[in-house]
Amino acid sequence: MLCGDIGQPGLDICHDCEVDLPRLGHHCQHCALPLPSPEQTLCGHCQLMPPPFQRTVAIYLYQYPVAELIAGFKYNRQLSYGKVLSLTGLNGFVSAYTYEFPDIITPIPLHWRRRLKRGFNQSEQIATYLAKGMDIPTLPLLQRSQFTPPQQQLDAQQRRQNLRGAFEATQNLAGQCVAVVDDVMTTGATATEVSKVLLEAGAGEVHIWVLARTP
């Protein structure tokens, strides 16, 4: 997929290219923002304003070639790219938990108009691979109640405003721990908004799972 060599069994990527994918190093325990010192456990923002979600599990840094693979996956329907990043990252999600996994996995939903245009929901694809690999049920616990402009060109404050009231919970969660799956975390605006919705619906904890975190 990257170098042209034959991939590993079941994956369109060779071992050397997989090893070279940029993995996330030391990071904030809440939002997974990369941190310069191993003595730090939280970034400055999470110390001042703790997010509503309890933790973020991210596998890769959002830089070459991961950024290009995710873009090809989302916008050019290169579904094999999503499969590769999900399955090569699977052990990272597993090893993030010493004890019990979350009770349920749920993907970030797309509004039906954007899903119709794209043809699929990338977060659903990722969630399906992780749910199967970790033997956790995946359910559509969220729905998109508003069509919002794309987030890419917005700053952090604009992203928060753009997503306010954009999601609804589909059921009562009765204290369950929910892992919300998305492709990338940038400002955390989406994670914050959906976490508030899920906690209001009775979730005991919300964890955010993403393939990649922006530096």
Task: For residue range 172-214, list pLDDT tens digits in order.
Answer: 999 999 999 999 999 999 999 999 999 999 999 999 999 999 9
Q: Is residue 45 part of a domain?
A: no
Q: Examine residue 42 and state whether it is found in any structural domain, yes or no.
A: no
At 145, is the pLDDT very low, low, confident or very high (cuts 50, 70, 90)?
confident
Phi then psi for residue 173, to 5 deg, are: -105, -5
Q: Flag whether 93 is in a domain.
A: yes
Specify if 80 maps to a domain: yes
Our count of domains for the chain comes to: 1
CATH, residue 71? 3.40.50
Is 99 part of any domain? Answer: yes
Give the integer Cα–Cα distance in Å for 6 and 12.
Answer: 7
Residue 139 lies in a domain: yes
Range of the domain at 142: 15-25+50-213
35 domain residue, yes or no: no
pLDDT grade, residue 2 (50/70/90)? confident
User: Tokens 């977060």 label which residue?
Assistant: 123
E strands, 26-91, in order: 55-61
Q: Is residue 39 part of a domain?
A: no
The C-alpha atoms of residue 215 and residue 212 are separated, in whole angstroms, by 9
Token pair 């060599």 is found at 5
Both tokens of 140, joined, read 């559509």
